[in-house]
């Protein structure tokens, strides 16, 4: 089953000039709304992608650049919402075939490899590449800058003026003290 990506951007590489080319993309409002759900954040404010697409070996190309996303998240310590940005580097090889020949030697490039994208009908999908890389770097436990977790002190019988917590071993201690 093919699922339509929330942020799809394709680049035609079938007529890629020898010097390559640079591309810039930004997510539209409805794409940001869809990405909010995929990322599980309070708000997905923006996504910008800057890429350099260069020819690489026979029939393949290399994409390098960066993706930057701004979002609103909830701090796991304070439960406050805060705005944050996430920036990742992109570097992926795209190929049509399972192998590429160079200088009489065969370089095996598996299009099933996660690090290799596939050229389909002369086009590559770079929007989903950016989203995948951002998701991999997304902190599952976000903290607002400056937020620190300070655990409460344990409430033991030794604490002055405070009653002991109901401790499962308190009954055993009482039996031992009766001896």
**Average model confidence (pLDDT) for the chain?**
84
Q: Residue 9's pLDDT is what?
A: 94
pLDDT value at residue 1: 46
Q: What ranges do the domains of the chain cover? A: 10-137
DSSP class of residue 138 equals -
Please count the other Cβ atoms lying within 10 Å of the Cβ belonging to residue 43: 14
Q: Which residue has the higher pLDDT, 104 or 43?
A: 43
Q: What is the mean pLDDT of residues 56-75?
A: 93
**Is pLDDT of 43 > 50?**
yes
Whether the predicted pLDDT of 37 surpasses 80: yes
More confident residue, 119 or 97: 119
Dihedral of alpha carbons 131, 136, 141, 142, sign: negative
Contact 48, 23 (CB under 8 A): no
Query: What's the pLDDT band for 111 if we cut at 50, 70, 90?
Result: very low
Q: Report pLDDT digits (tens) over 113-164.
A: 556 888 889 899 999 999 999 999 999 999 998 878 777 766 555 555 555 5
pTM of the model: 0.73
Handedness of CA 4, 125, 108, 64 (dihedral sign): negative
Helix axes 29-39, 127-137, angle to 10 degrees: 40
């Amino acid at each position: 089953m093919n699922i339509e990506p929330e942020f799809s951007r394709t680049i035609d590489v079938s007529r890629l000039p020898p010097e390559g080319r640079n591309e810039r993309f930004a997510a539209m409002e409805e794409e940001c709304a869809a990405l909010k759900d995929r990322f599980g954040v309070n708000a997905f404010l923006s996504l910008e992608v800057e890429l350099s697409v260069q020819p690489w070996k026979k029939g393949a190309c290399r994409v390098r650049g960066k993706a930057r996303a701004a979002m609103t998240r909830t701090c796991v310590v304070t439960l406050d919402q805060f705005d944050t940005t996430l920036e990742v580097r992109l570097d992926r090889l795209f190929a049509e075939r399972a192998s590429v020949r160079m200088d009489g030697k065969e370089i095996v490039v598996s299009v099933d490899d996660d690090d290799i994208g596939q050229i389909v009908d002369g086009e590559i999908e770079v929007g989903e590449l950016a989203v995948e890389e951002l998701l991999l770097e997304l902190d599952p436990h976000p903290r607002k800058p400056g937020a620190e977790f300070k655990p409460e002190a344990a409430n033991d019988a030794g604490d002055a003026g405070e009653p002991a917590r109901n401790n499962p071993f308190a009954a055993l201690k009482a039996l031992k003290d009766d001896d």
